Amino acid sequence: MPTNCRTTHPPETDPRFEVPLRGVKVGAETRCAHYATERDVIAIRFPCCNVFYPCHACHKAVANHSAQQWDAQADLDEQAVLCGACRTVLTWRQYLNAEHACPDCGADFNPGCTTHLHLYMRGRTQ
């Protein structure tokens, strides 16, 4: 783990990022205490607070409310996925069509993330 990790609690957000972002031991490319492999470089905005978190467990650990999920149909064009490598914010549609890599910088995304998308989106069938 890099040494520049930090944990951010509300109402603070992480000044290293242009978007509001919080989490547990967040690294410069949005890896966190829970997901820290080479490919864990995305953060997801939650509709309940409009803050980006590296993962659902980060939201659970530092947010003072329970997480809400996006709607898998209605919210596809919401800019909800931050690439921690280049800091581009993708819509759900862009992320889901991206084949596990950032369409902007080409950074690999963890394909495992799509297996727990239901934690971020309700109405996903898989």
**Contact letters (x/-) for Zn ion, 67-106, by CB under 5 A?**
----------------x-xx---------------x-xx-
Nearer to Zn ion, 11 or 125 (CB): 11
Nearer to Zn ion, 40 or 77 (CB): 40
DSSP per-residue letters across the chain = --TT-EEE-TT---TTSSS-B-EEEE-TTS--SS--STT--EEEEETTTTEEESSHHHHHHH-SS----EETTTTTTSEEEEETTT-PEEEHHHHHTSTTB-TTT-PBP-GGGGGGGGGTEET---
Residues forming the site for Zn ion (CB under 5 A) = 32, 34, 46, 48-49, 54-55, 57-58, 63, 83, 85-86, 102, 104-105, 107
